[in-house]
Amino acid sequence: MSLDTRWLEDFLVLAEVRNFSKAAKLRHITQPAFGRRIKSLERAVDQELIDRSSNPISLTAAGNLFHLTAKTIIAQMEQGLADLSKQSDSIFNPVRIATPHSLSSPTLIELFDSVQQETTIPYSADILRVDSGIQALKEGKCDFFLGFDHIALLQPPFENTLLGEGHFLLVCATENDEPIFSLEGNQTPYLRYTSESYTARLLEQHQPDLPVSLRPVFESSMCQLHKEMALLGKGVAWLPDLLIKKELSDRSLIALSPKQFSLPFSIRLYRYQTKLSPNSELIWLRITDRYSKQAPFSTTWFQND
């Protein structure tokens, strides 16, 4: 059984206010997303915890029993974190960075490798969905967020440094050095992103302009899974060029009509304007100094002249 502690916190808030809408607001997420998280918790424990037929909602017998368990788990976790914080000076105390899966490898690894050649500062990485990473930065749960352009972070109280640019490309596997799928046919198999993902929202802004007929055959929020499925020949997929430079070079993947099907993006490192820890400030200084004066950390594979 795998439990996300956020689900436990969601459940405790819902048990207190007995209303999905109010609980979602208190947890700072949309009501549909909140409802899905409660459902995920119920699936994880294999019990119906909420009686949705009553108004206001109430806990089932299993829910009442689990309520005490959830409170105990959260209390123990908070106490454990408090105990750890008291020892922070003597234990691993890294610079914390959050990033979406699509930028975790090789981008994040190469970025910190480039600055760690000059320092031994440790760092930790949380691989989160874009929205969760942004929320982690806002709540001070990370020092930096490595991500794409996001309007909420491009203005105070945040600051950022531009690390590079790239393109999402529509790609597929090859056979005899030729693409195995054509966009000229009907119902081309398509590896789709889940509607809540950043990539799906980016594509939604542009796909009405794409004169192709795509048939979804697979759905995921993770670029890496789409890459693996595309390499297996399961369909066409939108992938960031920085994730598939090797595959584009050896032509195990090929970009389909890149002049027509390419969506630009920027890679930025975000932080709060307020002063960070000495180690975090040093990392920020090294990165901004290096990539504001030298060539960009990441450059686009595709030049749309």
What are the per-10-residue average pLDDT scores of the chain (305 residues)? 81 93 93 93 90 91 89 84 63 85 83 77 87 89 92 90 91 95 85 88 72 87 92 95 93 93 91 91 89 61 53
- List of residues 6+ apart from 97 with CB closer than 8 A: 108, 112, 123, 124, 125, 126, 142, 143, 144, 145, 146
- Residue closest to 154 by CA, chosen among 182, 134, 168, 184: 134
Residue-level pLDDT at 85: 66
What global pTM score does this model have? Answer: 0.65
What is the C-alpha separation between 97 and 144, in angstroms, rounded?
5
Q: Are residues 49 and 182 located together in one domain of the fold?
A: no
Q: Are residues 126 and 174 located together in one domain of the fold?
A: no
Q: Are residues 233 and 273 located together in one domain of the fold?
A: no
Q: Are residues 210 and 250 located together in one domain of the fold?
A: yes
What is the C-alpha separation between 102 and 150, in angstroms, rounded?
15
- Residue 37 inside a domain? The answer is yes
- Residue 27 inside a domain? The answer is yes
Write down which residue in 53, 86, 119 finishes a domain.
86
Residue-level pLDDT at 105: 78
- Residue 72 inside a domain? The answer is yes
Locate all alpha helices (DSSP H) within the chain, ordered by sequence.
5-17, 20-26, 31-45, 61-86, 101-103, 109-116, 130-138, 198-204, 223-231, 245-250, 278-293
Residue-level pLDDT at 305: 44
- Print the domain residue range for 31: 5-86
Q: Are residues 186 and 59 located together in one domain of the fold?
A: no
Q: Are residues 181 and 240 located together in one domain of the fold?
A: yes
- Residue 228 inside a domain? The answer is yes
- Residue 219 inside a domain? The answer is yes
Residue-level pLDDT at 54: 86
- Residue 305 inside a domain? The answer is no
Antiparallel, parallel or unpaired: β 262-272 and 253-255: unpaired
Q: Are residues 76 and 221 located together in one domain of the fold?
A: no
- Residue 301 inside a domain? The answer is no
- Residue 302 inside a domain? The answer is no
Contact call for residues 38 and 7 (beta carbons, < 8 A): yes
Q: Are residues 254 and 223 located together in one domain of the fold?
A: yes
What is the C-alpha separation between 71 and 119, in angstroms, rounded?
42
Q: Are residues 233 and 259 located together in one domain of the fold?
A: yes
Q: Are residues 146 and 174 located together in one domain of the fold?
A: no
Q: How many domains does the chain have?
A: 3
Q: Are residues 142 and 170 located together in one domain of the fold?
A: no
What is the C-alpha separation between 124 and 135, in angstroms, rounded?
17
CATH number, domain with residue 232: 3.40.190.10
Q: Are residues 216 and 284 located together in one domain of the fold?
A: no
Instruction: Using only the alpha carbons of the chain, give its radius of gyration.
Output: 22
